[in-house]
Chain A
C-alpha cells in the first residue's frame, strides 16, 4: 500500500443507507490521491439530528462514540459538508465546558474534513482522471458553503473534467429547503423553498445537478422527479471519481437489489 496519509472515511448515514456508490467514489478519489483509506466499524451518525432538535444528552453520547471510533487516524473525511461541519465546528462547542473531552473534540475537529476540500486544500489535488459528457449545474449546500467555505474547490475540479460543461445556478447559495428534520416538520415551507430551487435548476438548462450533500440531493431529486423535470441528480464525488454512469439518485437500479 501507499505511504500516504491514513484516512478514516466517515461515510455518513445517508450515503451508507441510500447511496453507497458515493462512499466508493470517495474511497477511490482518496486512494488515487495516495491515501490509505479505512472505514472504522463503530460509526453510525454524527449526531446532527439530535443536536438540531435540542437533544443535547443524546448528541453528546453519540459525539463521544464518534471521537473514540475515529481516534488515531491522520484525517477523518466525510462526503458531506454538513456532517464534516458538525464534527469540525460543533463538537468543540458541545464539549467546551467539559475538561475531559474538550481537548479530544478539538483534536478530532482539527483533522476532520469534507471530501472535496480535503482533496484540494489538504492533498493539493488540482485535477481528477474522469470523463463526463454533458452540461451540469452545481448547488452549494449551506453547511459546506458557510461553515467550511466550500465554493471554489468543487468548481475547480469539475472544470478540468473532459466533456463536462458547468453552467452556474442562480442563487446557488440559497438553501434548497432540506434542513434535516426541518423538511418534515415544516413541509409546506420546505416545499416552497425547494420549488424555488427547482425553478432555478430547470432555468439553467443543465441535464445534471450536482452537490456535495446527500440530504440536499435527495430533497432536490425528489422534487424534480415529482414535478417531472428532466434533470438527473448526482453527488459531485461520483462524477469526480469517474463513476457518473451509475443510475442517478431516484432512478431504477436495473434490477439490482
Chain B
C-alpha cells in the first residue's frame, strides 16, 4: 500500500498554511474554545490530576501485559459471538475490511469517525472496490464532500470557516432549494442531518473506530457528540470496529477512569454526549443491532515501539489536547503535518509509523515549550520523545548539513573555555562597535533566519566574563 504523506514537505506546507486566510480565521476561532473549555473542566474537578495519574498507571500496566489482555479480549469477543481479526499492516486491515464487505455483497458502507480508518486509507480502498463509503460524523462528512483529509483528530473540519462549509453544501446538495437560508451553524447541522438520515438505511456495513477496548467484557467503546456512531453501527447487518491494538484496557472500571479525563481534555465536556458500548452482535431477543460484529486489531508498527524510548506514546487516548495547546499546530493547522496525525502527538507517532526519513521534520518543528506535556491527560513526555527522534536523526546523519556544521563549530568552541572566551570576546567587541549607534542590526550575514523577521540586538560591549576578570563589580547596596 502506498502511504500518502507530505510530511517531508512540512516547511513548504507550513508556509502555505500561514498564508491561508481562511485557515488562520478558523484556527483563531477554535483555539480559545478548546483551551478555555479544558481549563474550566479541570478546575471543576478537584481529583482531575489524580485521575490523570491513575489513567497513566492503567495504560502502563496494560502495555506491560499487552499480549495477555489482547488474548483475553479476543476470547471474550468470540464468546459474545463476534470475530477478532489481527492486522499486522494497513494493507492487511484493508483486505480484511474488503473481504467482509464482499461477503455480504455490500454496495454502501456507513462510517463513524475513525482515525484508524484514515491511517489505513479505507475510503480509497472501498471506492477502488466499487463500494461507496459515507462519512456520518458532521466534520468528516464535510471534508468528504470537499475531498479533503481531517486536520485534527477530534475536530476533522476545524480548518474550515462556516462560509466554506456553506459553499460546499450548496455545491453538493443540489436537490435542495438554492435560495434556502444557510447562514447559521444550526441550519448547516440540520441540513447535514436530514441528508444523512436517509443514508443510514441504505448501508449493508457500518464501520466505526473505538476509543477503548475492554478485555474483561470484550466490548468496544465509542464516544461521540452527534449520535451518528450509534446509527452507523446499529442499523446495517454488519458492524466492523477498526482499532489499533493499544486501545485495550483491562476492565470496565479502567475504561471509566480514562473516560473521565478524555472528554474534559478534549472538548472540556464532562462527558461526550454519547458513550456507546458494543459487545458482540445482536442476541436473540435484542430489539436491534448488527447480525455480525467484527473487530480488526491493527498493529502497523506499534508493537515495534514497545520496549523502546517511544513506548509511552502508546498511552495516547487521542483527545487532541496537545494540538489544541500547541503554538506550532495553532500557527499552521493540521494539514501542514502531511499525514493522519498532526500536532505534538503526531510529531512523535508519525516518525514511528512512517519512518524518520519521511517524517523527520515533525519532531524538529517544536520550540519545546512543553505545553503539550503539561496538558496531556496521560502524562506522555512528548518533548522528550521528539528529542529522541532528533537523536535518531542526528545519529543517522539525516539532519541538514548546514545545521550540523554550525552546531559542530559551536560545540567545538563550547568544549574549550579558553577558546570560547577569546573568540567571543573579540566577536562581541566587534559586533558591539558596529551596532553601537543603533543598538541593533536589521540584517546580519549567517543570521538571516533571525533577521528576516526581527532585529538582532547588538551586544553591550565586552563580555561579562572579560569584564568580571578585569575586576569590574556591581555597585554594593548602601551601607553594605
Contacts and interface: CB of A to CB of B under 8 A. Distances in A.
B231 to A, nearest CB: 40
A190 to B, nearest CB: 7
Interface string A4-42: 000000010101111111011101100110000001011
A196 B32 CA distance: 14
Nearest to B332: A189
A250 B439 contact: yes
A182 B429 contact: no
B424 A55 contact: no
A126 interface: no
A256 B367 contact: no
Contacts of A241: 474
Contact of B366 (A27, A129, A182): A182
A91 B166 CA distance: 54
B468 A44 contact: no
A179 B436 CA distance: 27
B480 A54 contact: no
A189 B328 contact: yes
Interface in B429-465: 429, 432-433, 436-440, 442, 447, 449-450, 452-465
Nearest to A174: B327
A163 interface: no
Contacts of B464: 11, 15-16, 20, 23-24, 39
Contacts of B437: 252
A52 B368 contact: yes
B463 A252 contact: no
A68 B449 CA distance: 35
B414 A62 contact: yes
B18 to A, nearest CB: 6
Given A39-B465, A174-B371, A54 B399 contact: yes
Nearest to B480: A32
B29 interface: no
Nearest to B363: A54
Contact of B18 (A21, A45, A188, A249): A188
Contacts of B449: 183-185, 187
Interface in B358-382: 364-371, 373-374
Contacts of B414: 44-45, 47, 50, 58, 62
A173 to B, nearest CB: 8
Interface in B118-137: none
A193 B477 contact: no
Contacts of A179: 366-369
A183 to B, nearest CB: 7
A253 B460 contact: yes
A179 B416 CA distance: 25
A42 B420 CA distance: 10
A21 B463 CA distance: 10
Contacts of B461: 20, 253, 256-257
Interface in A170-217: 173-175, 177-194, 196
Interface string A220-257: 01110110000000000000010100010111110111
B476 interface: yes
Interface stretch (B101-109, B207-215, B386-394): B386-394
A56 interface: yes
Contact of A50 (B366, B411, B460, B473): B411
A14 to B, nearest CB: 10
Nearest to B425: A17
B201 interface: no
B424 A175 contact: no
A98 to B, nearest CB: 16
Given A16-B463, A44-B417, A191 B457 contact: no
Contacts of A243: 474
Given A54-B391, A142-B369, A189 B477 contact: no
Nearest to B28: A196
**Interface size class of chain B, counting residues whose CB lies under 8 Å from the partner chain:** 35 or more
B106 to A, nearest CB: 44
B197 interface: no
Interface string B321-332: 000000110011
Contacts of B427: 17
Contacts of B366: 179, 182
A120 interface: no
B177 interface: no
Interface in B147-188: none
B11 interface: yes
B146 interface: no
Contacts of B403: 53, 181, 185
A102 interface: no
Contacts of A183: 367, 449-450
A223 B453 contact: yes
Given A32-B477, A256-B460, A180 B368 contact: yes
A219 interface: yes
A178 B328 CA distance: 12
Nearest to A30: B474
B407 interface: yes
B367 A182 contact: yes
Contacts of A196: 327
Nearest to B430: A257
Nearest to A198: B454
A135 interface: no
A65 interface: yes
A42 B419 CA distance: 11
Interface string B84-126: 0000000000000000000000000000000000000000000
Contacts of B473: 24, 27
A168 B474 CA distance: 30
* Residue of A24, A147, A193, A222 with most chain B CB atoms under a 10 A cut-off: A222
B459 A225 contact: no
Contacts of A19: 457, 459-460
A193 B436 contact: no
Given A186-B14, A250-B457, A256-B436, A17 B450 contact: no
Interface of B: 11, 14-15, 18, 327-328, 331-332, 364-371, 373-374, 384, 387, 389-395, 399, 403, 407-408, 410-411, 413-417, 420, 424, 427-429, 432-433, 436-440, 442, 447, 449-450, 452-465, 467-469, 472-478, 480
Which 3 A-B residue pairings sit nearest by Cβ, starting from the closest?
A179-B367, A222-B454, A184-B449
Given A69-B417, A147-B370, 8 more contacts: A174-B327, A175-B371, A179-B367, A185-B364, A186-B364, A219-B454, A225-B440, A255-B436
18 contacts: A18-B457, A53-B407, A56-B391, A56-B394, A146-B370, A146-B371, A177-B327, A179-B368, A183-B450, A185-B403, A188-B15, A188-B18, A189-B14, A189-B365, A219-B454, A222-B455, A222-B457, A253-B460
